[in-house]
Structure formats: structure tokens, C-alpha cells
Amino acid sequence: MLEVSGLTTAYGEISALRDANLRVGSGEVVGLIGPNGAGKTTLLNVVTGLVGADSGRVALSGADLSGAPSHRVARSGLVRTFQNLRLFGSLTVRENVEVSALVASTSRRHRPPPDVDGLLVAAGLWEVRHRRARELDYGTSRRLELARAAAMSPSFLLLDEPTSGMSDTESEAMVAQVRRMAGLVGAGVVVIDHDLNFITGICDRVTCLDAGQVIATGTPDEVRAHPAVRAAYLGVSASD
């Protein structure tokens, strides 16, 4: 279980998160939505140790990770991707995935070892496994980033805009790929995305943030119909 409770953080005078809470179970896919500046990426940054919190707690299966450095958070089982690609461009596709598998072999010994070949096949990367990462097109690079994260044998995959810049067809394919990859390594998923069709198609539950606060949590249909979400995220009044 990933439990985030009472996270509050500010950048100077600007409040980025205000008493934010999130709870995700193993094998569950939970989406984070909200308008630009709502605090979605900041929440992942705090959870993964990239940004400090003024108050609140992050716990993984009861172990307190509040304020832990990012490398300890990752080795504890919270592995993330970023809005901007961060691949090892000079390494091949296979080598990118093998780097994560190597880390998992030492820091995640209690988890089943990742199947590098299986992850490459599941991500649709088998045919390009010997190509350098810098030679890949954008959609393929996104799939590699997902495969590399999964190779860490995480307890939870934290995905920040995994379909950013993708076509509708690529986004639809990513729904199946995220679930397939998470299933292969037995990970839960927290995903940020602006594509409501993607969120609706992949998530068991959705949490909506606005101005750093959680304003709604529920099934995708419940959250889409919530008056506060319609006003803040969809830009319509509750009566429309």
C-alpha cells in the first residue's frame, strides 16, 4: 500500500500542495488529474524525494519514506517516469532496460527478478532492441521509458504524462501496455495524464487536484461527473 497523507509544500509564497492525500493498493491503477498548476507533478516530486514537504507523510507498506532521498525511494519500490524523456541515449534499447534490471538485482532482491526479454516484447521493443535510444522516434522512446521503469521491479510505477505528445492511436495502445507491464512485475500504478480517454480507459480510481488540494476521488465516471471537477478541470459550471 502506498499512503500519502497531509502533504503540504510551498515554493516561497506560492502554495503547491495543501493537505494532499492519496492511497493506492497493490495492483491498482490510480489517476491524477487536474488543470495546469494543480500540483500533480509536485505531488509525485514530493513522493519520490525530489522536492521536500513542509508537512505530511509518505509511507510504502507502512515504512516511512517522508524526506528520504530519491535514490532510497526508488530502491524502496517507488519508480517514476518524467514528462521529459530521460533515456540513456548512447545505450541500446536493451541496455537501457538492463541497467534497471541490474539495479533491481541488488536493491530489490525480495522481488522476482525482472524478465528483460519479456519486458521488451511486452513494450513492443523487441525488433529495435539493438538500436541506440537516441535513434528512436518519440512514441517508441516513451515505451522504452516505461519498460526501463518496470525493469526496476517496482512496487509502484509513478507515470508523469506517459502519453504526452502521442497520437490518439498511440495513446490507446499505451493503455494496454501500461497494464501489461505493471502486471508483469506486479506493480500498482499512479498516472498523471491530461487525456481523459486514456485516464478513463486505464484507471480503477481517479483523484483530482486543484490549487494543490484534492477536490474529488472516485471511479473515473464519478470524478468526471463531480461538480467541482467539472468547474475546475473541464471549465464548465455544475449546471452545464
Joined together, the cell numbers standing for residue 37 give: 498548476
Residue 50 Cα distances to 61, 102, 140, 172, 217, angstroms? 20, 23, 26, 30, 25
Summarised one tens digit per residue, pLDDT across range 169-225 is: 888 888 889 999 999 999 999 999 888 888 988 999 999 999 999 999 999 999 988
DSSP 8-state code for residue 166: -
DSSP 8-state symbol, 10: E
Model pLDDT for residues 4-25, shown as the tens digit of each residue:
999 999 988 889 999 999 999 9
C-alpha to C-alpha distance for 137 and 109, rounded to whole angstroms: 34
Q: Considering only CA atoms, which of 85, 175, 209 is closest in space to residue 136?
A: 85
Which runs of consecutive H residues, i.e. helices, occur in 39-167? 40-47, 70-76, 93-107, 116-122, 138-150
pLDDT exceeds cutoff 80 at 233: no
For residue 126, what pLDDT is reported? 97
Instruction: Give the integer Cα–Cα distance in Å for 213 and 39.
Output: 8
